[in-house]
Amino acid sequence: MKKLGALLVQEDSFEEILMGNQALVRAMVESKTRVVTSYPGSPTPEIASAIQDIPQDRQPFYFEFSVNEKVATEVAFGAAINGNLSCVFYKSVGLNVALDAFVQLGLFNIIGGMVVVVGDDPGANSSQNEQDNRNIYRMAKVTVLEPASPREAYEYYKHAAQLAVAFHTIVVVRLTTHVCHARQKIKFAGYKQEKGYKTVFNRDNGPYIPLTVLALDMKRLGLKKTGPILSDIRKRELNQVIKSPDSQKKGIITSGLTWLSVLDVLERSRYRPNLLKLGVTNPLEREVVLSFLRSNDQVLILEELDDILENQIKAMAYDGGLTTPIIGKTSDKDFIGEFTPDKTLEKIMETWPDMIPAAKKEKSVGSTVPERPAQMCPGCGHRSAFFAIKKALGENDITVADIGCHTLGYMPPYEMGEVLMCMGASPGIASGLSLNNKGKKVVAFLGDSTFFHAGLPGLINTIFNHHNITLIIMENGTTAMTGHQNHAGGVIKMETLLKGLGIEQVLACDTYSQEKLTGLVREALKTRGISVVIARHPCMLKFTRSQQKKPGYVQKHISIDPETCTQAHICIEEFGCPSFVRNPDDSVGVNTSLCLGDGSCRPSCPEQAIGFAKEEK
């Protein structure tokens, strides 16, 4: 197999097993997308990784990581009204950040066309909630295509691009976590590479200023596109009806990944219902839905998270004078989590007990695997930081978390970060907690990537309103949590920016200098008003991977001197590196397959029993 990047820009057709996110990039290439922007967030980072794998001299489009999702949306929009097909992608909660710009997009005549790819996250696999963005798409009145597999991710992006270009509009491709990350053998079409960007912006293509009465006219023009878009969708047959000869006039309506769960479950059904797979979930194709309802005596709607399809379809049935019983969500569990095959089976059997024979329960074999708590990597600078910072805090002091690897400071043994909301919220929340709070210090944590993403407005508000907080910026030089993407901190010096904002006390040190960091935090806590401590250390996972690629690399690790060790277990219970092992006799061992040999753990031992393995000195 060719390297992924070279494969994605191969002009000949080919067949390959690719991840949904990777297949999407090939669709961008074939669709002649010219500008792509993003802010990283799971489940979509592999889209960016695949783009960055393409050789620089063969890059078919411009790509950038913007400072946040709103800016990424604005850059893609600007390119699109300049005549270039553009795409912006981000995760589910990233749409919240982009929302102020996103809800306007349907109003404009976007002459180049624009595709928005959003990775929703039913089950909250990598997010702080499992919000259903279909609610937002209805509000914004945008067309939404919803693929069920990596192959459909590839095909649907191309459909979305064609619709966006043809109707000068925005089209959303809604992915979910397992569509992004699943792999499938896909036959990719050939294409002819063409480079170059258009610069054809003309105000006469507008209006592009949604003020007063113009905004209403723009909305009317946007709504007028719905009919022609639906007509085009009908020709593409993106909504599919699969009739069954033994359906017993029962039907299922579903979309996305749930469709695959339904197919999986029905493999052992006694009879097979009729199926309506919705490839376009907004706007709904009214006649297809009504026709399906008429042809069945009972219809079950299966959809993850909110009852978006259910409520619309029930309203359509009422307006159409239909009395077909429609079964949707019947309990709280239907609104939570993914519709995996197990959950889908349970719902179908609850609705039609005779359809699928009950499976025999098999006896479990072997012991139950214990849960593995989330934890920071061995050598992580955040671990050293929390170990040091905790020594500087009083028992009643309040700590506010933010989004990033450092969010794991909430977990034992550090237990720092008692409140968490969304990216960049910690300075604002901490400011609120500090009001009239004379007995407790308030400390906010913020990652360096998040600082540039959404942390600055809250910090500026803290300065403007003279709030009394200490901000600790956990700087590791990358957007580590989502795969080591770069950010603005590589260009803009943190201390210069903070001092330029008028913050007088800006302290900084490497987190491995634990005693010094403890002292800086104590000093900062004495300051009235805003004080900032930059706790910096490179992401050790990224650093180690780069070192492993160098010739002659030798893995180091630390060792425990059993004669010196008093089994105080501070290294395990308070420092908490997963490389340490507590043996049955209470002695401390080292898992050398995990240990980096970085030595950040050594200051944690009061007896100085931690050293470097002799054979690797």
Give the mean pLDDT of 571-588. Answer: 92
Give the mean pLDDT of 388-396. Answer: 94
Rg, the chain, Cα only: 27
Q: What is the phi/psi pair of residue 483, to 5°?
A: 120, 20
Residue 203: CB atoms within 10 A of its CB come to 9
Give yes or no on whether 239-351 and 554-616 have one common fold: no
CATH of the structural domain 239-351, one choice from 3.40.50.2000, 3.30.40.10, 3.40.50.620, 3.40.50.920: 3.40.50.920
Say what the pLDDT of residue 363 is. 57
Residue 429: CB atoms within 10 A of its CB come to 21
Give the mean pLDDT of 261-268. Answer: 94
CATH of domain 554-616: 3.30.70.20
Say what the pLDDT of residue 145 is. 98
Give the mean pLDDT of 301-306. Answer: 96
Q: Is the pLDDT of residue 303 over 90?
A: yes
Read off the pLDDT band of 280 (50, 70, 90).
very high
- The domain ranges of the chain are 4-236, 239-351, 381-543, 554-616
Determine the topology of domain 4-236 in CATH.
Rossmann fold (3.40.50)
Read off the pLDDT band of 59 (50, 70, 90).
very high
Average pLDDT, the chain: 92
Q: Is the pLDDT of residue 532 over 50?
A: yes
Read off the pLDDT band of 362 (50, 70, 90).
low
Read off the pLDDT band of 125 (50, 70, 90).
confident
CATH of domain 381-543: 3.40.50.970
- Of 126-130, 171-175, 219-223, the range with the highest mean pLDDT is 171-175
Say what the pLDDT of residue 126 is. 82
Give the mean pLDDT of 262-267. Answer: 95
Give the mean pLDDT of 577-597. Answer: 91
Q: Are 91 and 42 in contact (CB under 8 A)?
A: yes
Say what the pLDDT of residue 487 is. 83
Question: Is cis: bond before 603, omega within 30 of 0?
Answer: no
Q: Is the pLDDT of residue 360 over 80?
A: no
DSSP assignment of 505-523 equals -EEEEETT-HHHHHHHHHH
Q: Is the pLDDT of residue 616 over 70?
A: no
Give the mean pLDDT of 475-498. Answer: 86
Give 17 or 558, the one with higher predicted confidence.
Answer: 17
Read off the pLDDT band of 155 (50, 70, 90).
very high
> pTM for the full model?
0.86
